[in-house]
Amino acid sequence: MAMRLRRNRSLLMAALRVLLIALFVIALWQAVIFVFAPPPFMLPPPAKVWNALVSRPELWSRDAVVTLTETILGLVTGSIAGCLLALLMVFVPAIRRLLMPLLILTQAFPVFAIAPLLVLWFGFGIGSKIVMATIAIFFPVASAFHDGLSRTDEGLLDLGRLYRARHWQEVVFLRVPNALPALASGLRVAAVYAPVGALIGEWVGASSGLGYAMLMANGRAQTDVVFAALALLAVMAVILRAAVEIATRHIAPWAPENLQRST
């Protein structure tokens, strides 16, 4: 009961910090407008952006839902694929020597550069957006989890060898639990990158979503709508990050950062 109260208090404090930061950004934004008086098509005031959110319910009732769906599916798919690849590279070291340079090479190509090809291959629907979000987070998850699997304490490995553990037992019972905090860190990073991948896919080719709404509004010089879509995207990223944060506390409750939060 006491631990649950501490967790609820920490969540409340985190939400309060986010709210205070948002209020500070809005106040600074309004101050810049008051001092420099830029034209509204360059930097609309916060009240105008709020009016765009209220007067265009399709932004949050349709476009935000589409982008959130693409992001969540891409986050799940990319996380699973990254974990499986990291495990495969640990189970079969020869595959790691072959795939790791290839994975590093793929990161040299920005997602925006290959987005047109993905849209051509997977179509203008939700499939290409999910693939793009998957690509955006695949490498951070795979890299973080693989690093955690590779840095298992030698004392644990010696203990496993003492009891004549097989290689798969060493991986499953020693390396994986030891690597879960690293996986949690990779998932927290992925939660921030996933919306970016979906947004890029919508910029290249889509008929709905926040990226599509931003593209259409930018062509019509409706900067307030662009900022409204950006605000929704920021809220989405914060919610996803918080959800992953809560989930990872259950994945690796013994991680040092989770132990500090629970005290």
pLDDT in tens, 189-238: 899 888 888 888 888 877 788 988 998 898 888 899 999 999 999 888 88
For residue 8, pLDDT beyond 50: yes
For residue 177, pLDDT beyond 70: yes
The pLDDT of residue 228? 93
Query: What is the DSSP annotation of 191-257?
Result: HHHHHHHHHHHHHHS-SSSHHHHHHHHHHTT-HHHHHHHHHHHHHHHHHHHHHHHHHHHHH-TTSHH
DSSP letter at 174 equals: I
Q: What is the pLDDT of residues 97-107, one digit of tens each?
A: 787 777 777 67
Q: Where are the domains of the chain?
A: 38-262
Mean pLDDT of 115-139: 85
Neighbours of 1 (CB within 10 A): 5
Q: How many residues does the chain have?
A: 263
Burial class (CB in 10 A: 0-12, 13-18, 19+), 189: middle
Burial 232-251, CB ≥16 within 10 A → b, else e: bbeebbbebbeebbeebbee
Burial class (CB in 10 A: 0-12, 13-18, 19+), 261: middle
Which among 238, 230, 151 has a CA at the least distance from the CA of 188? 238
CATH of domain 38-262: 1.10.3720.10
DSSP letter at 175 equals: I
Kindly report the pTM of this predicted structure. Answer: 0.83
- Is the Cβ–Cβ distance between 74 and 134 less than 8 Å? yes
Mean pLDDT of 21-45: 90
Place of tokens 């979000």: 133
When the pLDDT of each residue in the chain is averaged and rounded to a whole number, the result is 84
For residue 62, pLDDT beyond 80: yes
- The phi, psi pair for 69, rounded to 5°, reads -65, -45
For residue 90, pLDDT beyond 80: yes
Of 27-31, 135-139, 162-166, 168-172, which range is least confident?
162-166
**Rounded Cα gap, residues 101 and 225, in angstroms:** 42
Neighbours of 208 (CB within 10 A): 15
**Rounded Cα gap, residues 195 and 216, in angstroms:** 19
The pLDDT of residue 259? 47
Using 50, 70 and 90 to split pLDDT, how confident is the model at 261?
low
**Rounded Cα gap, residues 204 and 33, in angstroms:** 32
Burial class (CB in 10 A: 0-12, 13-18, 19+), 256: exposed
Q: What percent of the chain has pLDDT over 70?
A: 90
For residue 80, pLDDT beyond 90: yes
For residue 16, pLDDT beyond 90: no
Residue that wins the pLDDT comparison between 164 and 148: 148
Neighbours of 20 (CB within 10 A): 10
Mean pLDDT of 142-167: 83
Which two structure tokens, joined as six digits, stand for 198?
């979906």
